[in-house]
Amino acid sequence: MEKKYKGDVKRRFHAWSNLIKSHKKLPIEKKLSSTNKFFNVFQFQSDAVYKGAGDYWKTPDEFIVDASGDCEDFSIAKYFTLLAMGVPMEKLRITYVKSLRLDQAHMILAYYKTPDAEPLILDNLEPRILPASQRPDLIPVYSFNGDGLWLAKQRERDKYLGQNRLSKWQRVIERIKQMGKRP
């Protein structure tokens, strides 16, 4: 897809590709911080502005082309970038939360060092990567990745609900495949 573009878009794709290649062997902390910084410079744009869509989840390529998107787009791009750097899928979950600061639904990416660890939060609204306990403004509702879907539970381990069949997620995966890429 990137070969069709020129100028700033081509530079963004080149920078993204270099980010992935240069970070494959670096420590996880560097992968997380560099990925978060790379995407957090993109502009927030609501789905209502983007093609008048009600709730459209962009592929990483679409997000890079536009250099803008909403919270789902930031989280999805970070998720696939970290996977490409070699971070295991089971350590990453895109998490749907209630943002008390915004008083609305929001989406972030959570990194789990171990299955029972407190996750680190990558968020387009907060430049710092913080443990979930330092983000009392976020109330988790559910989380997902390519392996499954989890219901958030208070004070205990999230409940695994099975295979991820979220329709918007499935559409993102299908569009990535149509671009000739591996999700």
pLDDT tens track, the chain, 183 positions: 445 665 799 999 999 999 999 999 999 999 999 999 999 999 998 766 666 667 889 999 999 999 999 999 999 999 999 999 999 999 999 999 999 999 999 999 999 999 889 999 999 999 999 999 999 999 999 999 998 899 987 655 677 777 777 888 888 888 998 887 776
How many Å apart are CA 40 and CA 20, to the nearest integer? 16
Name the helix (H) or strand (E) containing 14: helix 7-23
What is the pLDDT at residue 155? Answer: 53
* DSSP-derived 3-state class of residue 150: strand
What secondary structure letter does DSSP report for 85? T
* DSSP-derived 3-state class of residue 124: coil
Give the chain's count of helices (H) and strands (E): 5, 9
End-to-end CA, the chain:
15
CA angle 107, 56, 35 (to 5 degrees): 45
The architecture of the domain spanning 2-178 is Roll (3.10)
How many Å apart are CA 125 and CA 39, to the nearest integer? 11
What is the pLDDT at residue 118? Answer: 94
